[in-house]
Structure 1
Amino acid sequence: MPELPEVEVSRLGISPHLLGRKVTLLQVRQRQLRWPIPPDTLQVEGEEILSVTRRAKYLLIETAPGWLILHLGMSGSLRVLPTSAPLQKHDHLDLCLDNGQCLRFNDPRRFGACLWQERGDEPHPLLKRLGPEPLTEAFDGSHLYKLSRRRKLAVKNFIMDNQIVVGVGNIYASESLFMAGIDPSKAAGRVSKSCYEKLALAIKQVLARAIEQGGTTLKDFTQADGNPGYFAQQLHVYGRAGQPCLRCEEPIKSLTLGQRNSYYCARCQR
């Protein structure tokens, strides 16, 4: 599944092609995605695109009446193409622009979404209870420490909770915990404030580096220009079970936390 860096890379890739353009048509070929595409999305037609932003893993395309909300799901991708470009299998949606180009959404598994947020309405239910963005000043070690008190769940599951902090998915949670030297299975309430300060900094550094390098190469993700991300070349623990730790050469271990594979070094992470 594309994580926050991959979604941010997609945003950076499509933004220059969308900003200031007028939407001529929202062409829906498959309405049944994770949720049915609502008829309200057609309000974008005839409107200028004012901004392209991101909240957690959601892309927000702003127009005067409101925002088109896009989510890539597990296998979704976006391309900027000529409207006349031949269709591929699973091309479910085109946002057609006044320059003959379109933003095309492809999603083989159909776990993605295209929804609508009316200007002036209450925040969409999917956006309402989200925690702070990890790359902002609103997120730091004190925030994690305060919310973790008396919490018994594993610290890895704690930082993957979008009500605590958004966008720290499975890959980057494993990498950040390794960088901070914290055992992913340790109870969140037993992690010290100083360790949370290290963890918050690690999360910021890991995500920022991943965005800079184009997102992690996953079988279902390529950038808006068709090139894969490159961060997978620098993963320290994720997907490396049995291989030597890059710090101490102890074999990397794996365990299941919250139905997700987790990777860690038993010597480096306590």
Structure 2
Amino acid sequence: MVELKTAAEIARMRVTGEFVATVLAELRAKAAIGVNLLELEAHVRERIRERGATSCYWDYAPSFGRGPFRNTVCLSVNDAVLHGLPFDYDLRDGDVLTMDLAVDIDGWVADSATTVIVGTADPADARLVRATEIALDAAISAAQPGNRIGDISAAIAGVAHDHGYRVNTEFGGHGLGRTMHEDPHVSNSGRPGRGYPLRPGLTIAIEPWFARTTDRVITDPDGWTIRSADGSRTAHSEHTIAITADGPEILTRTA
């Protein structure tokens, strides 16, 4: 069931979104050669505690995971792209790091992800990261009232294909608001003009992610970390947005 949010409810999600965006910006600044993933996890945990917020990941136990998830942020390195469990690993020059954060403040959720390259960037990795950012921008531009979910999905797939990347449709975007995952599903590939209509009050997370040379994924023995099946580098960009009468509003960016 899709729940449309009121202007007051979107305003409360905006508060959460600004916090998520701020913490991700802090992580981007901290992600440097020699920094341990557990340091980044500890930073997020402390920031959530200080704010009186709740991690949407802690104790998260969906059917596809080997739960419960006992961390506050997903940290995925190189060929890992989704649901990465923070572990004892010091970042190295050239690593591609995806950081995905979902938080609840006073009963309202926001979710966002960003990918950074630590130290010296391989041009192919930089192109991949930029492609996910371009796809996210294109998808948000397509999220106009009167359009449909398929328009968002087609925009993402179009950017992927223009860059020569394949699209995995097992994992994609989703509705959110009172919880981290709500209807509707937002696939990273689809047909324009198809799917759920975009109405004012709809709040969704849009999250294009690509691998350099495959659309297939595998899951680590930890039951959570999802990697490209061929070991190629990956990237992921995500924003929470609200559909308004005036167009899409990005809720997960700093004020």
| TM-score, with structure 2 as normaliser | 0.31
Structure number with the bigger relative contact order (C-alpha 8 A, sep ≥ 6) is 2
| TM-score, with structure 1 as normaliser | 0.30
Larger-Rg structure? 1
